[in-house]
Amino acid sequence: MAKKNDIVVEIKDIFGKLTIEDLQIKGKAVFIRADFNVPLDDNLVITDDRRIRSSLPTINYAIDEGAKVILASHLGRPKGKIDPKYSLAPVAKRLQRLLNKEVMFAPDCIGSQVENMVAKMKEGDVLLLENLRFHPEEEKNEEGFSRSLSKLADFFVNDAFGAAHRAHASTAGITKFIPSAAGFLLKSVIEYLKGVVDNPVRPFVAILGGAKVSGKIGVLENLANKVDKVIVGGGMAYTFIKAMGYEIGDSLVEPDMLDLAKKIMEKLRNNNVKFYLPVDSVIGQSLESSSDTKIVTNQEIPKGWKAFDIGPASVKLFNEALQDAKTIIWNGPMGVFEVDAYSRGTYAIANSVGDAYAMTIVGGGDTDYAIHRAGVSDSISFISTGGGASLQLLEGKDLPGISALTDKKA
């Protein structure tokens, strides 16, 4: 991709925390917090293992260095109670296949039984702990629970970018008790997202989509001083269109965001940032497959109809805006792409981003999924599956799971 190597050179020194490569881990127990929050079908079979695969470089490094590898993660929202449908047992099986070696599975994540399993581990062994969120103390970042986790290991390595925006026991609390470092995945995401936003090769274009303006306010305000162009699609676009005085039928709108939408547009205009909204939409009366669809300009969305995707004229407009881009960040789909009738806009933009002669970064679970369904993931410079964490980073906020790690200087 264009300028990719140049950008890596510019951003490679921004990470001021210890990384796993800084640790002397041979013969030591290393607690790696991964993000194995993968989708499962009704038979508890993993339907997408990309989050597991993304942690393999860190896990394999620890194995090759002769560490005793203890893996931990959450899965779903069991709300602090043991629930078999959220067990990490299927992850242990998939990991065993991907690593091509035995992966032991612990029935819990703390306690004497787990400690005994760790004590018997040899160099290069791998142990996966049961779901951290089976304990309510995990999400409460309870100190005693954090201490119990830390007793299992000599070092802590956070490689769960998707959970780095949470101050939980396994992302922040544990760092109070043992030296803590970043894994390869966590480090690379920070370097790409933060590095590119701070030092972009221009023109720099941000594409924002998804349902609501309220979820992207911080991103828009932070990027207003940094980007050259902003493209807005998805449901959030219609709050901006409504704020401009246009009729949007029954399309999604956040009435309490209208004034703020006007202020954001004014701020972008004052900063000479080019701002693009859809000019036409694919509309329907419902998301049912039998529902009729129409393509109309955004001034002609009738009552009783809702916009569910950007239209072909919008696709053309957005594509033209991307033609000269050298850095592109995309977060949020252009419509309800899970429904075939409303998928064309998102997939068209996915192909445009994939074809761009630019550094391209995609953040957020939905956008990541859309990129893969469009078949262009191999053409994207960097894909992050951590939706909430990506947004916080794009807002310019510190992430608790990163700021808690040990500083290199220390």
Task: Give the whole-angstrom CA distance, residue 72 versus residue 52.
Answer: 12
In this structure, what are the phi and psi dihedrals at residue 214, rounded to the nearest 5 degrees? -60, -30
- State how far the alpha carbon of 324 is from the alpha carbons of 75, 192, 205, 228, 243, in Å: 41, 20, 9, 11, 29
Cβ–Cβ < 8 Å for 125, 70: no
Active site residue 365: yes
Which single residue is written with the structure tokens 């612990």?
A: 106
Catalytic residue among 76, 124, 354, 365: 365
Active site residue 76: no
Q: Beta 280-284 vs 155-158: how paired, if at all?
A: unpaired
Active site residue 51: yes
Q: Beta 306-310 vs 280-284: how paired, if at all?
A: antiparallel
Q: What is the CA radius of gyration of the chain?
A: 23
Q: Residue 382 is inside which H or E element, if any?
A: strand 382-384
Catalytic residue among 76, 215, 218, 388: 388
In this structure, what are the phi and psi dihedrals at residue 120, rounded to the nearest 5 degrees? -90, -5
In this structure, what are the phi and psi dihedrals at residue 95, rounded to the nearest 5 degrees? -60, -40
Cβ–Cβ < 8 Å for 9, 400: no
Q: State both tokens at 281.
A: 């939409």
Task: Give the whole-angstrom CA distance, residue 183 versus residue 62.
Answer: 10
Q: Kindly give, in sequence order, each residue whose CB lies less than 8 Å from that of residue 283, ignoring residues fewer than 6 positions away.
A: 249, 251, 293, 294, 295, 296, 301, 305, 306, 307, 308
Catalytic residue among 212, 274, 373, 397: 212
Catalytic residue among 17, 51, 187, 229: 51
Q: Give CA 197 to chain center in angstroms.
A: 16
Active site residues: 51, 212, 365, 388
